[in-house]
Structure 1
Amino acid sequence: MSADLTDSTNRLGGSDVCAPAAVVRIAPPLASRERGAARPRRRRRVPHWLGVAPLLVFAAVVFGVPTAAMVFGAFTTPATAPDGVHVTGANLSASVRGAYLTALIGSVKLSAVTALIATVCALPIAYAVVTSRFRIVREAVLTASGVLANFGGVALAFAFVATLGNAGVVTGKFDLTDHGWSLYSFTGLSVVYLYFLIPLMVLILTPSLEGLRKQWREAARNNGANAVRYWWHVALPILTPALLGGFVLLFGSAFAAYATAAAMVGSSVPLVTMQIADALSGNVLVDQGNVALALSLDMVLVAGLVTAVHLPLQRRSARWLD
């Protein structure tokens, strides 16, 4: 018994106890070498802006180069001028006088009127689409709006001429000419523009109307507000930035439209796009290409001014509809 205890004590105090100590002395160097060998190399971080570099290059080529050429031409004389190419402000001065000014005012008037009417007409249509219980109605209206919003140009002009022109089917059946109707006028052109502006506005307003929460209507009803007061004090203030944003987009679409008006009314309705085309082709006066560039610069300035008004309102609307 005593011998067994002595042997056990010798084993514990001898090799069995010292062996773990030796392992402890060897383990740290091995572990550190393993950690050093397994440490990954640092990778160089790629700048985030490289991901959008192709888009920036594309925008610079497609938008920047034409814009620079337009600005340069608007402030210089043509190469065929007696004094050659030199800086001048005569082009901009000519673009806001006479027939050019009349055309610019006509385009602004047509765009503002049609955009306003389209905004007012599209709001109840979009609201009916959002609140409809039938999914097929919603999908059908939105699909049709997407098609009609992109339907324009010569095809749209031909369709209206065949329908509401002087010899159109509807005009002859209802004797609209005897009642003072004329498709080739400011009113007729406005009707044609509304054909694609109203569907476009429906597509714009549908997401904003979906952002109106049911709790807001319920809270207004619990406080004694009827439907009129709810729309006047709650819904419309929230939707106003979206409505103005849609109005700006419609204004720009109508302001820049060319093919439909050119194919239908020609020069009977003064529009700045028609004046630009005539100046570039030399139909009225020769060497008016730089004046046409000045008119284009006027259009860019008008569009930029309207957009600058819209941006802060859009940020305010996003806080409510998020």
Structure 2
Amino acid sequence: MPDQTALPAPATGPVPVAGAAAPVPPVPDVRDGGTAPHRRGGRRHRWPVVVPFFAFLAVCFGLPAGTMVYGAFTVLDPESGASRFSTENVSGSLSGAYATGLTGSVELSLVTALLATVIGTLIAQAVVASPRPALRGIVVSASGVLANFSGAPLAFAFIATLGTTGTVTQLFHLDRTGFSLYSFTGLVLAYLYFMVPLMVVTVLPALDGLRSQWQEAAASCGATRGQYWRHVGIPVLTPSLLGGAVLMFGTAFASHATAAVMVGSSQPLITIQIANALNGNVLVGQENLALAMSLNMVVIALLVMAVQIPLQRRSARWLG
């Protein structure tokens, strides 16, 4: 009689083939913090990491900004010492000599930003087109150093060189030509000393992003070098150049020490007026007016950032 012992049921899954690779288990997505069931837990554990950063922003940026806004819209009664909400400080900061100072700072920033953008871009293009790598290293190193050489040391260097009794002034008799370092033109020269190297460092990555294949393709289609730059190179570089110009504007607009040491109050600039109001050099008790002028500068800086960020994203999309 045959053996009636029950045999194991056949497997319902796929039959493994000799020599075939074993099935690989699914790899958890590291972007989700592991497998799907642990996704929420992974995200929840990331929040404590950024808490110190937000605390730093709140203390170092939020608290001063709140104090500035509160003081700009607060007026103190000199008799009782009570404070009240008012827009007198803001309206005063936008009229009279303070409006002239704000206009002077904007004008100085526009002129220096335009000149620094043009000169810095030409220098950077010459460096990129040069077949000598050593020249690029020298220019980049020098630009990195000179871009940070500003403030009082730069002002003293210009006074010793191009001042009334400066070396270059006496050597070439610049005083006979009517040139004065302590004027708007002198400030432009001093600002360009550190803004042109900054523009070189800023625009070099954008020029490196121009692919040689684009120029070769344009040449194969019969385009001249001028046509390539007019129809390909400049349009691609325009967002980066505009972003660099906006950065130069913000740098010149916020600079204070160079102008304060070199020209003092002879040139109407908003930064010098803020310093005078805080120190009480002109009028006593104008601290809140200085906060209102600072608020005007913050608004302009925010507008500059609102223009620069989209330009950076657009340039990164082409040159990334």
Shorter-chain TM band: 0.7 to 0.9
Q: How does 1:160-171 map to 2 (within 5 A)?
A: 160-171=158-169
Aligned position for 2:102? 104
Shift of the 97–207 alpha-carbon distance from structure 1 to 2, 3 Å rule, reads same
Question: How far is the alpha carbon of 1:46 from its aligned partner?
Answer: 4.9
Distance in 2 of aligned mates of 1:155 and 1:81 = 44
**Over residues 241-273 of structure 1, what are the superposed CA-to-partner deviations in whole Å (9 max), with x where a residue is unaligned?**
111111111111111111111111001111000
2:243 is equivalent to residue 245 of structure 1: yes
TM-score (norm: length of structure 1): 0.85
Q: Please, which moves more after superposition, 304-313 or 54-63?
A: 304-313
Matched, 1:275 2:251: no
**Which letter maps to 2:154?**
L
| Per-residue CA distance 1:44-99 (angstroms, 9 max, x = gap) | 43533333222222122111111111101100113746461110000000001111
Query: Structure 1: how far apart are the matches of 2:50 and 2:212?
Result: 39
Distance 1:73 1:256, change over 3 A: same
Alpha-carbon distance, 1:314 to partner: 2.5
Distance 2:47 2:151 in 1: 38
- Deviations 1:114-173, CA, capped at 9 Å, x for gaps: 011000001111112222222221111111101100111111111111111010000000
Distance 1:249 1:301 in 2: 15
**Partner residue in 2 for 1:78:** 76
Q: Is the 8 A contact 2:247 2:308 kept in 1?
A: no
Q: Offset of 1:305 from its aligned partner?
A: 1.7
**Partners of 1:45 and 1:312 in 2: CA distance:** 32
What's 1:315 paired with?
313
Which of 254, 258, 261 is equivalent to 2:259?
261
Alpha-carbon distance in 1 for matches of 2:191, 2:249: 11
Q: Distance in 2 between matches of 1:248 and 1:95?
A: 24
Partner of 2:302: 304
Q: Which amino acid aligns with 1:161?
A: I
Inter-CA distance 318–157: structure 2 relative to 1 (3 Å threshold): same
Is contact 1:78-1:287 (8 Å) kept? no
Q: Secondary structure of the residue that 2:84 maps to in structure 1?
A: coil
One-letter amino acid of the counterpart of residue 172, structure 1: Q
**Cα distance between partner residues in 1 of 2:189 and 2:52:** 41
The 1-side partners of 2:226 and 2:275 are apart by 48
Counterpart selection for 2:132 from 127, 131, 134: 134
Gaps of 5+ in 2: 9-36
The aligned residue for residue 229 of structure 1 is: 227
RMSD: 2.1
Q: Which amino acid aligns with 2:158?
A: F
What is the TM-score normalised by the length of structure 2? 0.86
Shift of the 222–79 alpha-carbon distance from structure 1 to 2, 3 Å rule, reads farther
Q: Distance in 1 between matches of 2:111 and 2:67?
A: 32
Indicate conservation of the 8 Å contact 2:113/2:245, yes or no.
yes
Q: 1:81 to 1:207 in 2, by over 3 A?
A: farther
Q: Distance in 1 between matches of 2:270 and 2:179?
A: 24
1:177 paired residue among 169, 175, 181: 175
1:214, CA displacement in angstroms?
A: 0.9
Amino acid at match of 1:274: I
3-state SS of paired residue (1:86) = strand
Structure 1 residue 52 corresponds to structure 2 residue 65: no
Q: What SS does the corresponding residue of 1:77 show, helix, strand or coil?
A: strand
Map 1:180-219; keep pairs closer than 5 Å. 180-219=178-217
Q: Deviations over 1:7-59 (max 9, x none)?
A: xx99xx49xx78x87xxxxxxxxxxxxxxxxxxxx874353333322222212
Assess, with a 3 A threshold, how the Cα gap between structure 1 residues 147 and 79 changes in structure 2: closer, same or farther: farther
Matches of 2:42 and 2:196 in 1, distance apart?
48
Instruction: Name the structure 2 match of 1:291.
Output: 289
- Count how many residue pairs are aligned between Structure 1 and Structure 2: 292
